[in-house]
Structure 1
Amino acid sequence: MTANGGINQQRVAVCNAVVVARLLNSTLVIPKFMFSSVWRDVSQFSDIYQEEHFIEYLTSDIRIVKELPEELRSLDLEAIGSVVSDVDMGKEAKPSFYLKHILLPILLKNQVVHFVGFGNRLAFDPIPFELQRLRCRCNFYALRFVPRIQETGALLLKRLRQHTGHIGLLDPYLIGPFAASILEGRGNHSKKASKYLSLHLRFEIDMVAHSLCEFGGGEGERKELAAYREIHFPALAHLEKTTKLPSPSEIRSEGLCPLTPEEAVLMLAALGFNRKTHIFVAGSNLYGGQSRLTALTSLYPNLVTKENLLSSTELEPFANYSSQLAALDFIGCTAADAFAMTDSGSQLSSLVSGYRIYYGGGKMPTIRPNKRRLASIFTKNSTIEWRVFEQRVRKAVRQTKHVQTRPKGRSIYRYPRCRECMCRIE
């Protein structure tokens, strides 16, 4: 299997590949990661995850090897029809699809099948209990970051908590043995831990361009985003030219536009986060550059990113490896005392919130805004009193804060609260 996208899309693809291998009673070759023109990262599985742990942890479920056997390696897989791309199968295909279209006509005939661009290609329902549980085990236990990511992640958490020698509830699962290093040199009388809020600003150019929204940049912005879509989202660019799509204002009214950093500031302020709040921002490679952070930093002077907290020497091993840098963001967001997302549909936000539910024991709050309601509120913010604005924003967020059992058909990575994933549901 070869997965596309960034680290979070790749993580989902790996979990799905494990389950498909079990379903087809086949051996899984350690997944490969495609080079993306968006992420520009050559990282492979072993650069991000502990390969031996992955293989050993899942050994009772499936057989995993690092390379194809010699006799299969020399085959022209495309010529014999053993290559299956994402255009050959729909999103969230049911297990029956794999048994009918992959097992019999390809795998049993050729002994090998290569999924290219594999991602969200396995349904969440209906799926046998054991397969769903395996997908959960892979996500929460089998995928463990490599030591150098864990070690730097521990350093990041230590500085986020201002060296108070506090081990967080999720630290052991995120940074493994390096959690103990957070206590080094603090003795038994460390001061009270400094709490922080993590914020995922999903406002990179790929999200902005794909949304078809407008963000106040006028004709220059429209041309820039249209040019980006021509290169990176050609199917969407073609659709723009051949189909009457909803206008940017209509898309915004439906809550389908990513929140801007300025809108994120308004949301946090309305929720009662004051100037003293310590905020860790992930996804800081914002469309429009660092100037888009001005509104946030002017109201929240204690705002930091991994680039602020880690020296250039400490970050140097991860330079030009966006997936490995994203792993550090994942650690910083997941371990936070509170986590706020600006786009509930992004993979990072979904995986982080699911991880916090799984290991957090109900003590790790996540702020997941109702963007449709917020869009309605924001369009009136020039004529609305602040007190009323606060009430409406809090109501829009309050409706989404309850941790619920997994709805049918929804992601087990985002909603792990179900019998297949958790021993008990609190």
Structure 2
Amino acid sequence: MTLAPVFILLAGIGIGIPVALAIGIAALSFFLISGAMPPEIFVQRIVAVTHSFPLLAVPLFVMTGVVMNYAGITSRMMSFAEAMTGHWKGGLAQVNVLLSTLLGGVSGSANADAAMQSKVMVPEMTRRGYDPAFSTAVTASSSIISVIIPPGIGLILYGFMGDVSIGRLFLAGIVPGIVICAAMMGAVAVQSRRLNLQPALDNPMPWADRGRAFVGASLALMVPIGIVLGIRLGFFTPTEAGAMAVMFAAIVGIIYGELKFKHIQPILEQTMQATAVILFVICSANAFGFYMTWERIPTMLAEAMLALTENPLLLLILINLLLIIAGMFIEGSAALILLTPILVPVITTVGIDPVHFGIVMVFNLTVAGVTPPLGTLMFTTCSITGVSIAKFIKASVPFYIVLFGMLLILTYVPQLSLWLPNLQFK
């Protein structure tokens, strides 16, 4: 067995080579060094994964989020969030958290959510006297909710790589997403009182105005509901749901009168750019996964972990620690693609439900995105807002406590994730 590709991968990440490229170089090195098979197989492995029908959901849901931004739906959702929570202490911070939850059914991407809110919410919070470090910490931490509210792209990738029902994963993310939103809003309320942050609105908005704000956002709110119901009732597959979401977002934008013909080009450009990054990682990881399978690395790692313990509770602790460490150094999607084929056989051996584990794994790797040293959400938000990493980490400590606490709850209370899919898929 050769471990040279593993060391090449770690060295590439260590010197700052983009993760997708580092994975691809490491995979290619196996075909060039080992001589076990012709290098043409590397190209075949790269191309073969692009023929997967489930992966078509990725660009479709990415496009849904882009279309909704141009259609004016995002701004209407922000208005609705402010109407409901703007009169609370630290009202804009509460709007930030609630908006992340609402956008979870739109963008499906924590990075997209964090980048958008860093540009929209943080400047407004700063203008109203909020500490930029606090605003940035709220933005990065709350964006994590986006990944497990359907149609989270991380859930699609996990389902594809682990051969797990994407429909069940979508249902499994709803209750945890709501619970995490409530926990984050509670943390914001405590910090707002401690920092004496003022409400965004002097008085609660009249219910008539709240109703109008809800009507403005109602069509967007129907997207995740429509996706889940459509899959559950058998009208379409998760992949086809992406196409339906794009069509629905475009129709809504036309109804609102904000989606124009001139927007087609930037929508396609942004969709292709975001999709290319994700698929480059997937293609490279597929070739690297072929190397690991050939050398039986997943099997040996699984046997090693099971040799340490076959107790599901202890095994979940070990895996969570492994994921946190991996997520600190490798971008969440890349880590998810690399580790899912290794870990799913391990957890199923000891009787852990792969749907429950999928929620834990996706959430864990995204939480690692707000932690040093290389958290992608941390760098994304700080680079946009101009806040130093040191100030960000200090402001994020209360949110770290909440997020890691929620990780433990999701890990050891599986019914939070499994209640809804078990109810609907009996």
What's the TM-score bracket when you normalise by the shorter of the two chains?
under 0.3
Would you tell me which structure has more helix in proportion to its own residues? 2
Q: TM-score, normalised by structure 1?
A: 0.24
Q: TM-score, normalised by structure 2?
A: 0.24
Larger radius of gyration between Structure 1 and Structure 2: 1
Would you tell me which structure has more strand in proportion to its own residues? 1
Q: Which has the higher contact order (CA 8 A, sep 6+)?
A: 2
